[in-house]
Structure 1
Amino acid sequence: MAPKSREHVNSDIESSDDEGIENLDYKPPRDFTLHKAKKYTTSVFDVDEAAKHELWLIRVPEGVSNEDLATMSISLPASTKPKSSKDIETLGTLKKKEISTHSSASTTIKYHLQSVAPDSGVASEMLALQPLIPDSSKGGRLVQAPLGVHHHLALVASASIPSGQTLGEEILNRPIPKRDQPEGLKARFQFTGTETQIPGAKAPASGKKFAKAWPEVLEKRKRTQEIDAELNLKRRLAKEATERGEEYEEGEEGEEAVEVSQAEEQEQEAEDAEVQPSPAKKRKGEDMEVDAVVEKKSKKEKKEKKEKKEKKEKKNKD
């Protein structure tokens, strides 16, 4: 609701809407007095001079000096201000060498001077700026430019994407600093399955025995796999012959291969049981006693082997 005028208020007590609001006018600090210059030099940006010329507002990136700008030649922009990004035009270019922050090599950066449009996305905030220029008639006080800014320009760096070869060479030539290690630090940890022996580290007795017998175990496993592959081939041939109605004779070599394969498997299981530390073994004095379960298994394997041998001899006699 708008405040009522005092002319329409009938009251013996005079009131005001500004009661309780402190004065917001500028007040200089204590002991400060207004200084008036005795001599005032007229500036090229004075109000009277600005009325005779056009005022251009140019934004320059940090690192570009006045000496760099003096070497750049620009063309006059259009009399009308650009209304959209389609109307933006390049008025001049500038090349400047700068040292890269990642390496000591110098790179050339190319700048281009362009006009600013409301939707250009680059320096569009310049369009809302109001420049202040001195007024000699008021003792050099700053006032707003009477004719405003005619052209808004911005010096923008061109995006340069390095080639893959140049970037790759820079990465290869970049020195890799060595990571500082505490004095006296030695490696002791190894991942499971690591075969490299750490210098100075002592392996336990069970580990030494296992490491010594492990190559032989691998070799026997390899032979077993070869025999199994041969048996699978012969079984497949026998199956195909049966499907055709023919009789496939395996021969003595096949029987021997089966027996050798079974014998290899039994030997491998027995050696694995000896090589790998078993929780079934108990220490009694200095001797190691084998658990009854292991002995029973060993006797069973020997018995089966003996029965197969007798069966083979009987077959050969027949």
Structure 2
Amino acid sequence: MSSSSSSSSSPEPPSLKDLSKKSNKKQKISKEAQAASTVDQHGKNEGKNPNWDYKQPEGYKAMSLKVDDSTFDWDAIKNDDNLELWVVRVPEGLKPKYLQEAKLELPSSFKTTRVGSIDRKSTTFDVWNLGEDEADTIGGEELRAISALVPRSKHGGKLFQAPKPIARRLIVSARPTLPTPQSSPEGSPVLHQNPPRPRHPTELLTHRFMPLGSLAPIEGGAEAAMDVDVPAPTQSSKSRKKSAKTGGEDAEAPRKKRKSGMESPKKSKKTKAAS
């Protein structure tokens, strides 16, 4: 009885078929993970997931690109060591074909400077080199975060990220119009021309408030002192009472009549002689 009860409670050992199925599943999972983690020569790690491919939204069709061998091909850019990628922002009134005849003086440092100009019939366009420093005069902050996509003919004209980084970023902007100066006769001397106003460095300013005349010496010394109204001294309650008493006695004094020499002396009383 004890042997039958113990055999019924213990689990059955797994069969060889189940073990082989589990090992096959593990091998498939490891192969899929390796395929997903492999990186091709273009730096992509897309794997074979069909959901990662681009799907155009409803109502749109994919455009078929017919790319010939040109300088913008992915392989041509990678194989040419003397080729650089430039990003140029062109205004609406200027056609890109006029950029071929422009002469530019590229600076050695990566600073925002004007490198050339393009003259047209009505306007003149300035060409600026957008450097790494922060310059708010010409704008173009959106060009710093742009990455180039170039077609590749071997893959049917699909767009890939450029194999080289962007070397320079140029901005073409119209030159602002300035008022024409008044024509002066030849030989007329300039009467007066103000020199350029100096610009004081803000880090050296002490910000002391000293208006005009605050540090000038006073002439005359004490004689030139300014007259100041002195407030009257305030009397205390005790002094007020004393002044009131003295004032009352002085008021009663004139009421008493004093004897004067003009008045007749009083008659002396007659004394009766004792008889």
TM range (shorter): 0.3 to 0.5
TM-score by length of 2: 0.39
Larger helix proportion, structure 1 or 2? 1
